[in-house]
Each structure stands twice: as structure tokens, then as C-alpha cells.
Structure 1
Amino acid sequence: MPSDTRGRLTVPDIAFLTFSIAIVAALYPVFWERLQANVGVMSTGTAYLFQLILPLAVLVLLGVIFVKATAGGG
């Protein structure tokens, strides 16, 4: 029996990724506008952490897809 170690990236996985990116892209401008309006009352560290939300969200989405794609079947 040959081992089946191919990745398992299915249509629902691609749909999940596409919709997740669309939701983040739609909501991020509103988030950024509110952040800029309130940055004066935040400390520097807090402002930097809020600015990292988008890059970290993208890394999480890519990580999920990478793990799903390389998991294999067998």
C-alpha cells in the first residue's frame, strides 16, 4: 500500500481563507480610523500593540492554511 501523504487543502478551506481575508479587509479601515482618533490617550506601547493586530491576524491565517495544507492524509 502506498502511503498517502499529500496535503489536504479543500474547497471549504479556501472559502474559509477567502472570507476571513475579506472580513479583515472590510473591518480594518474602521478599526484604523478609531485607533487614530484615540491614539492621543493611549500609551506608546498600547498603540504599538494595536498596530500589530493586522499583521498578526494575517500570520495566523497563513499559519492555519499552512498547517492544513501540509497535514497529509494518512
Structure 2
Amino acid sequence: MVKSCCVFKCTNKANAVAKEKRISFFRFPANKRKRAARIRAVNRKDWTPTSHVNICSEHFFNYWHSDDPDDDNYVPTKFSY
């Protein structure tokens, strides 16, 4: 199964192009608080991510996620819609 980003209208997939652009893919965290915050940020109606769902680094400032709730990169914030 190919990793792809779950964000609406994002077409990033884990392939040679993503590797060249240095795009990383992150699973939704198991931590309930952090997982709920990311689900709210992705903002998809009636949607619950499975253990195989990913979000790409292009939706985070500095292209990486953080475990600190006070950090801007705790949840994805860069969306094109």
C-alpha cells in the first residue's frame, strides 16, 4: 500500500517525487489528546483515521511535527482550502 496524505486536495504520495522534495509522512498518533487535535485540524466531516492514515510534512510549519502542545507544529496548520 502506498502512503498518501489524507488532507483534502493534497496529492502527495510516498514516491520518488516526494523523496526528492523531502516530504515525510506521519501517522496519526495513538495519544488521544494529540490524535483528536489532529483530526479537528484536518477538518473532514464524519471521518476517523485508521492506523494506516498519514499526513504529509507539507501541512506543518518547518515540515515536522511536535509533541509539545504549545508548539505551532503540534497540529497541522498549513492547508490550501
TM range (shorter): under 0.3
Q: TM-score, normalised by structure 2?
A: 0.21
Higher percent of residues as helix: 1
TM-score between both structures, scaled by the size of structure 1: 0.22
More strand by share: 2
Larger RCO, structure (CA 8 Å, separation 6 or more): 1
Bigger Rg over Cα: 1
